Structure 1
Amino acid sequence: MDIREVRRHNLKKLMDKEFGLGARGAQSRLAEKLKKPQNFISRCLFEPEKNGAKTIGEDFAREIEEAFGLARYVLDAPMETGGEQVNEAATDIAKPRQGDICIPQYDVRASMGPGQVAPKEYVETVRNITVRSEYLREQGIIYTHAENLAVITGFGESMGATFSSGDPLIVDKGITEVVVDGVYAFTLDGMLYIKRLQRLPKMIRMISDNEAFPTYDIKGAELESLVVHARVLLAWNARRL
């Protein structure tokens, strides 16, 4: 199901749970709770093919979660149902416990090889994971802010000595420049990469942890096209046993 349709279904379930299934005036009360005009809420609940139907965008989805006291990005995942109403136990599980961090996964692939064209919608959230903050601390992970964490997927073999093609990678989107050496997600000349970057005098060296791939020095005018999107903090490695 398309994420926009998931959000619409979830908003209706939240309305039914909060104000009663099919209750008169439910949309008005929902509009009041969300501080939006009733017509706006009504259009958000329209079937997609109906004239005037409105998409629940990224910003409004986060406002809905905040108004209902839900974890960020819960609205983007299908909610369990019991009959016609939201299953309360499932909703409770969706709320993070103290110390949990909800990390969204982005529909973006970065290349660990020759590069891929960067997607136009870099930040379209498709799902999320929840981890204990203690786990990140145990792994020695330092990040700018929990809301800057995200999960992306790298494809290719050039970083094979460190992580494999297809591994989920936790990144920090709050880091947008190469201050210290590390692995980064970045674009160069419009191509998207995940590589190790090393700052050197007047240039930045792009390094593949697989020795079969040569290093590359980014310098001169080419530095102008380097855009750092995030620093890679941790690879969620999966190994067949």
Structure 2
Amino acid sequence: MTNFDGFSERLKIAIKGESSYGFAKKCGFSESLIRKYLSGASAPGLEKAVIIAEAAGVSLDWLATGKGETGTGTQAAKQKPDEVVGMEDYAFVPLYDAQCSAGAGAWNENCRVLTHISFTRYSLRKQGLTPEHLSAIRIDGDSMEPVLHSGDTVLIDHTRTTIEGEGIYILRLDGHLYAKRLQRNFDGVSVISANSAYDKVTVPRDRLHELEIVGRAVWAAGWL
């Protein structure tokens, strides 16, 4: 069984004096959660420990148990997430910033990878998802409230770029990514915001080629 005794002290060493706020942003966690870990009031589960180890550039084994080398500045720090020893059952999906370039390039051209989010490969297979076709972004704005809130993270399946019944899809428009509900109708496709303060937009049939669907949202999470 994984032993997290002394985790808080190892975490202090791992973050090398970085602020709890800055390190929390790297991990995609709240600052209050990182503060709990640093104070010893709480210890992470395995999935969160993997994300912390990757963000700090240290060995997961050392961070969790205190055994072995820290991995800082060594090959261990340069490993890709899927290469972490003992973590073959996990897939790591990149979380991109939402500011993406317009034009004919790839949807994530010039985007930064903020961190990686871990999922068990079993849970993805159960949903018919493959890790290499997934990515994540954070929602910006209130147009999808109360379904999705600003700052929420959504997982995108990039194999689903055609409308399969009503669902939430990620669209690219004017250099930004938007989460919107799409619904086919007789006139074309309706682009619908969950927030009633935003009007529904209809893309007519003869302009559907202009509707760039990046993928379908298949999972979402946010702080309560």
Q: Answer yes or no: same fold by TM over 0.5.
A: yes
Query: Is the aligned partner of 1:97 residue 2:87?
Result: yes
Match of 2:120 in 1: 132
SS in structure 2 at match of 1:231: strand
Judge conservation of contact 1:106–1:122 (CA < 8 Å) in 2. Answer: no
How is 1:52-201 mapped onto 2 (pairs within 5 angstroms)?
A: 79-80=57-58, 81-82=70-71, 85-86=74-75, 94-95=84-85, 97-109=87-99, 121=109, 124-136=112-124, 141-143=127-129, 145-188=130-173, 192-201=177-186
The count of corresponding residues between Structure 1 and Structure 2 is 155
- Give the 3 Å change call, closer, same or farther, for CA 184–96 of structure 1 in structure 2: farther
Q: Distance in 2 between matches of 1:83 and 1:98?
A: 21
Judge conservation of contact 2:99–2:176 (CA < 8 Å) in 1. Answer: no
Query: Is the aligned partner of 1:218 residue 2:203?
Result: yes
- Give the 3 Å change call, closer, same or farther, for CA 190–216 of structure 1 in structure 2: same
- Amino acid corresponding to residue 87 of structure 2 in structure 1: R
SS in structure 2 at match of 1:108: coil
1:77 Cα deviation after fit: 5.6
Query: Is the aligned partner of 1:234 residue 2:219?
Result: yes
- Amino acid corresponding to residue 168 of structure 1 in structure 2: T
Q: Distance in 2 between matches of 1:190 and 1:84?
A: 36
Q: Distance in 2 between matches of 1:218 and 1:82?
A: 52
Deviations 1:160-185 (A, max 9, x none): 12111011111111222213221111
Q: Distance in 1 between matches of 2:222 and 2:154?
A: 9
Deviations 1:145-167 (A, max 9, x none): 22111111111111112111011
- Give the 3 Å change call, closer, same or farther, for CA 83–238 of structure 1 in structure 2: closer
Match of 1:71 in 2: none
SS in structure 2 at match of 1:210: coil
Superposed CA RMSD in Å reads: 3.5
Judge conservation of contact 2:171–2:212 (CA < 8 Å) in 1. Answer: yes
- Give the 3 Å change call, closer, same or farther, for CA 236–181 of structure 1 in structure 2: same
Which stretch of structure 1 is more off in the superposition, 91-100 or 213-222? 91-100
1:200 Cα deviation after fit: 1.8
Deviations 1:85-142 (A, max 9, x none): 4458x999834624312111122248xxxxx9688725543421211234457xx744
SS in structure 2 at match of 1:212: coil
Q: Distance in 1 between matches of 2:182 and 2:175?
A: 17
Q: Distance in 2 between matches of 1:192 and 1:125?
A: 15
Q: Distance in 2 between matches of 1:84 and 1:154?
A: 34
Judge conservation of contact 2:92–2:116 (CA < 8 Å) in 1. Answer: yes
- Amino acid corresponding to residue 128 of structure 1 in structure 2: H
Q: Distance in 2 between matches of 1:173 and 1:219?
A: 24
SS in structure 1 at match of 2:207: helix
- Amino acid corresponding to residue 109 of structure 2 in structure 1: E
1:192 Cα deviation after fit: 3.4
